[in-house]
A = this chain, B = another copy of it.
Amino acid sequence: MLLSRYLLPVMKETPADAQIVSHQLMLRAGLVRQTAAGIYAWLPLGLRVLDRISAIVRREQDRAGAIELLMPTIQSADLWRQSGRYDAYGPEMLRFQDRGQREMLYGPTNEEMITAIFRDCVRSYRDLPRTLYHIQWKFRDEVRPRFGVMRGREFLMKDAYSFDMDEASGQLSYYTQMLAYLRTFEAMGLRAVPMRAATGPIGGNLSHEFIVLADTGESEVYYDSDYEHLNWNQSAFDYGNAQDLDAFKRMFSHMYAATDETHDLRAWEQVPDERKKNGRGIEVGHIFFFGTKYSAAMGMHVQAKDGSLVTPLMGSYGVGVSRLMGAIIEANHDANGIIWPEAVAPFDIGLINLRPDDAACAAAAHDLQAKLEAAGRSVLHDDRDARGGEKFATMDLIGLPWTVTIGPKGVAARTVEVKRRATGEKQEVSVESLVAGLAKSDTMGAL
């Protein structure tokens, strides 16, 4: 991508109304623009990150056997009357009438709708268990939207719903999603800790929230340092295997983790001192197992093997997809800007041409862009007529993992300067070795 043909409105000044660093950096780096209170447009660079985050969430849901569908944003109030939640839900629900005076709402969540769909589509135990998910925009009319996409009104959420014939199968579905969540966050370069949570208005008695560790996080958290040594994606737990899931459940359930709201001093004392860690974190996911709360209220029955009618057990599993972008930035930035983990970076490489007016430099830069793209790397090529200092500052601000700089001296010597954003390390390398290294390696880290 040529920056001269892109839309990247970066800001030098920190916007006065942005209180937290992720909000400031998302505005400054040209990722989003606010279009109404708590409602954002995703500019081209921000959308690329949002798409990469969504793709990781989707991949891990698919691996865990969940099936993707897509429910609409607008729902009928009648649906919510079937579960009894229409009157119970607070003013965060955006309610309105359509032109036929029918009561409608913008979905804040989809328990009712998925229950109605499953109820109307499925008749037999043969069609269970099933976990269905979608990635769709939600609206919650926060009284005081703030912190950018961290507490916006229109936000992107992945919500999954499980349907099982009995408690044991339901618990398998629950822990399958829990494992998928830990793998999802880890794949984005985040360290997430699951914590027992209250269930609130969703219902049920089994619930966990997932807190991403970040020094600038909203909540204080207390946890066992063993969490920092676990690697969920390397672990051999197989989603289809009940014994594996049981071992997984035991593995984390003996480890302490709590936010300041749920902190239990007595249990905390049992953690060996050298493993006691506390820090700050941001909630990025919440999962619930609530049994027959919605299926019973909405009259969902399926025929069991013995011919009897069974009311399926359900769980629901949410990830704040747009919120994750804020959390990733809170956990990955410095004074100069964002430091994207490679897995979610909007482009792999920023390519700076220091002298676009010089024919040899321009030819070398376009040639290198083509070679890097042919090697499967995404490149943002700063070919603008601007000062070098401005170009370097922009690349640091938008936080691409690698910056490759071409100038007249390097063109003569067939070398470029490669800088790693995370560490600031720079090295001169030949164009050939840069391209060959990229073609061979899966991650840029191998450079």
Give A contacts to B, CB under 8 Å.
Answer: 4-7, 9, 30, 33, 35-37, 39-44, 46-47, 50, 65, 67-76, 79, 91-92, 94-100, 102, 104, 106, 113, 116-117, 120-122, 126-127, 130, 132, 137, 139, 141, 143, 153-154, 384-385
Contact = CB atoms under 8 A, between A and B. Distances in A.
Given A70-B47, A74-B139, A65 B9 contact: no
B41 A68 contact: no
Given A7-B127, A7-B132, A33-B121, 4 more contacts: A41-B113, A44-B67, A50-B70, A96-B97
A260 to B, nearest CB: 29
Most B C-beta atoms less than 10 A away, residue of A35, A43, A106: A35
Chain A interface main SS type: mixed
Contacts of A74: 36, 39, 106, 139, 153-154
A33 B117 contact: yes
The 8 tightest CB contacts between A and B, nearest first, are: A96-B96, A9-B121, A42-B70, A36-B76, A41-B71, A99-B141, A72-B154, A47-B70
B41 A69 contact: yes
A30 B91 CA distance: 35
Contact of A143 (B47, B99, B113, B141): B99
A385 B127 CA distance: 12
A5 B65 contact: yes
B121 A35 contact: no
Given A41-B72, A73-B154, A94 B91 contact: no
A153 to B, nearest CB: 8
B36 A75 contact: yes
Contact of A94 (B46, B70, B96, B141): B96
A18 to B, nearest CB: 16
B94 A68 contact: no
Nearest to A2: B65
A72 B39 contact: yes
Nearest to A77: B36
17 contacts: A7-B121, A9-B120, A9-B121, A33-B121, A35-B72, A36-B104, A40-B72, A41-B71, A42-B71, A43-B69, A43-B121, A46-B69, A73-B73, A73-B137, A95-B96, A98-B153, A100-B143
